[in-house]
Chains A and B, each alone.
Chain A
């Protein structure tokens, strides 16, 4: 069974940092592009970032560029999102998601982890 399990969310002060992890199982992690998507409570989905199978291609949404860093460890089967210079507007549930084919659809999602940026 395919599983994606996020962790690392919590309460952080504005300007602070946090690292999210997404541990996967049930599929060959190194064969899939991976994404982070977030959802502000009560609002819509917002794409955050994606990373190629081997980590050599990475793109970010403008709203997080320069502050967030996506990475992966194909040996550990884990996706990461390092978040820094956090702002109140980064408060959201963060989902990791598996890319079906070249960013044409996200077919498996984790249950999400809540990040709250507040003083």
Chain B
């Protein structure tokens, strides 16, 4: 049950788009379309942004989008805004009937 691999940090200027990756294996990301993404502002509660690779829960901005290719999932944030600055975690269901998170990516809006 190794953690999914995420870059430690990404950054972009307001209005720009960024994409962050989440790499797993065929036993998790690659084997199921059950990848989710969470936004976590320090001191606050994690917020579900994407589930089932591409689906946005009600109330989540359409500036957030998800995709997957093979064992790597991606989260794209378009039209960056200051309030997007946060930690982002990917997660996947696994072949062991467990859930695994990535190590997290810190998004900085320059």
Contact = CB atoms under 8 A, between A and B. Distances in A.
A and B interact: yes
Interface residues of B, number: 27
A107 B91 contact: no
A61 B45 contact: no
B99 A110 contact: no
A60 B36 CA distance: 19
Contacts, number: 72
Interface residues of A, number: 26
A45 B34 contact: no
Interface string A76-110: 00000000000000000001010011111111011
Q: DSSP majority for the B interface?
A: strand
Given A47-B98, A105-B51, A95 B46 contact: yes
Pick the 6 closest A-B CB pairs, nearest first.
A105-B51, A44-B104, A105-B36, A47-B99, A109-B45, A104-B34
24 contacts: A44-B3, A44-B87, A44-B101, A44-B102, A45-B91, A45-B101, A47-B99, A50-B99, A57-B97, A59-B98, A60-B98, A61-B98, A62-B1, A95-B46, A105-B48, A105-B91, A106-B36, A106-B38, A106-B46, A106-B48, A107-B51, A109-B46, A109-B47, A110-B45
